[in-house]
Structures are given as structure tokens and as C-alpha cells.
Copies of this chain bind each other. A is one copy, B any other.
Amino acid sequence: MATEDFTNAVLVIHGGAGIITRSQLGDRAPEFHDVLLNALSDGYKAWQAGLSSIEIVVSAVTVLENSPLFNAGRGSVLTHTGGVEMDAALMRGSDLGAGAVTQLTAARNPIHVARHVMDNSPFVMLAGSGADQYVEENDLPTEPQSYFITDARQAQLDQQRTSGTISLSEDNKFGTVGAVAVDVRGDVAAATSTGGMTNKHYGRVGDSPIIGAGTFADNHSCAVSATGHGEYFIRTTCAASIASRIRWGNQSLRDASDSVICDELKVLGGSGGIIALTPDGTAVTTINCSGMYRGVVTESGDVYTAIFEPGSGTWTRFAC
């Protein structure tokens, strides 16, 4: 099974899973590793400063949303009508606090909106034009469409439109981003942010903003952020299922993740992966496809980033 194990982890991040081949990526791998390292660095600084696990995951996801390389925030894929529709969610393991937004079209950092919903509203989830209205009424930072849309995403949409398909193919689902962290108090948190799928219609909602599907955190078990073919992650309540197997079935984090990703999801036909972390710093990255942009930083500042199969990444250490 395609699982990597880590101990003493404080932050794990992903930038999407799918069929990633070395030939497709060409000589661009270092660009991806650099952004992953920047996200881990910002999150690690928050951990060192004793900030909450929510601050840590938001710090890391903000870096990934701001990078045009990943399908979240800037660089989100384009819908059928040529714009962005962005989703995000986060959850706090200490009290099951949660916030989620779907179909944002203008917020610079969707994960900040999800956090604002969690911290300042009586709601958990906002959708559609009402979510944009929430951003506007609360004066949260926005950007024009030109900020979000990259040449690469426009080319993907043009190709999809020409072929006349709604993309559920691997090639266009890369890049959902996410993070799981544990703070010095032992509280876990999870965050996920995505632009969804290229050429999507009908206000399709994937797993990322669904609490229990793409995003879940509970101090009784673990924090999970998922990426992949969202419909299957919703049907299996993927993130909550991993947590439940640990809490109620006494499974290890590794066994629970393997069972859900490499068995249950794979049988249904759902490809993708997850990152997960328990309050004691045990972490896994699990995929049932060829690659996932991912990274881990441990208490001591040892840092690992990888794209392809387990063990294919490199370890370095932050100067701290």
C-alpha cells in the first residue's frame, strides 16, 4: 500500500494527488518543492511561536493558495463559464469547531473566509452567491478575476471545451491543497482549499468543503485533509471514516488510512489520497494513485517533501 509513516510530525501538507508522471512534470519539480517548503516553513514558524493548530494550517494553506502552481486560490481551475469557483473548509479538533465555504468567486484566500465563518458566524457552511455576499459584507480581501486566472488554467479549459467533456479526469484535478497540524498543546486541526474541477457545471460541490468528507479533525482520533475524485470521498465520508476507525475500531492511523484509501475507495473507483495526523505526532500520507505533492515537518525542524511514490522525497532541515 502506498503509505508513508512519520513520527514527531507537527505539520503535514498536500498540493493534490493524481496521475503525476516524471515526464509530465519535466524540470518543474523544483518549483513545486519550493512552494511546499515555503508553506511548511510558515506553518513551522507558527508552531514554534506556540500558536494554535488552526493558525498553523491556515499559515500553510495561505502559501499554497497564493501560489499559481496549485488548484486553490490563485491558479484555481476554471469553470464552464470561464471563472473561478473556490471551496475551502477547516476544522478544529479540540471542540469540533468548523467553517466551510463553496463557490466563492472573488475572495483572495478562501481558507480565511472559512475561518471567518467558523470564528464569527453562527453558521458552519455557506454556498453560492450568499458566500460571496458574506465576503463583501465582512470586508474580507478580494481580487479581480485576472488575479486568479493563469495562462495554464485557461489552456486547460480551452482544451476541455473543445473536447466537450466535463472534466473528471485525473489531469485536471491536480492541485487541491490541504494541511493537518498539531500544536504544542496537542490540539489537531485540518484545512483544505480547492478550485474544484476544470469546466465544471451546475454548481458541483466536491469533498473539500464537506466536513467529514475532505476535511475533518477530532482530538479523539486525528486530523485529515483529502484530495482526489471528490464524489467518492463524499460517499465514503472519507476523512471521518479514517477518524472513526481509529476512535471506535482501535485501528492504527496507518491501517485506517490504508483501508479507506487503498481498499474501500479503490473498490468504488475513487482515486486520490489523504494526509492525516494524530495528537501524538504520528502522521501518514496515503495515495492510491501515482503521486501527491506533499510535505512534512517534525518538531525538530526536519522537513520532507515528495511528489511521487512513498520514499521518493528528500529530507532537509530548517535552520532554526
Q: Interface residues, chain A, CB within 8 Å of chain B?
A: 91, 95-98, 102-103, 121-131, 133-134, 166, 168, 201-206, 210-213, 216, 230-231, 234-237, 240-241, 244-245, 247-249, 251, 268
Known: A130-B203, A249-B249. A123 touches B231 (CB 8 A): yes
Partner of A131, one of B122, B130, B203, B236: B203
Distance, CA A129 to CA B129, complexed state (A): 8
Partner of A126, one of B202, B236, B244, B249: B202
Partner of A127, one of B128, B212, B230, B237: B128
The main secondary structure of chain A at its interface with chain B is mixed
Q: Chain B's nearest CB lies how many Å from the CB of A319?
A: 39
Contacts of A126 in B (CB 8 A): 202-205
Distance, CA A168 to CA B121, complexed state (A): 12
Contacts of A204 in B (CB 8 A): 123, 125-126, 130
Q: Are A202 and B130 in contact (CB under 8 A)?
A: yes
Distance, CA A98 to CA B235, complexed state (A): 6
Distance, CA A216 to CA B122, complexed state (A): 24
Name which residue of chain B comes closest to A134, CB basis: B202
Q: Are A127 and B168 in contact (CB under 8 A)?
A: no
Contacts of A98 in B (CB 8 A): 234-235
> Can you show 11 pairs from A to B with CB atoms below 8 A apart?
A123-B231, A125-B234, A126-B203, A126-B204, A127-B203, A130-B201, A133-B203, A211-B235, A212-B234, A237-B237, A244-B247
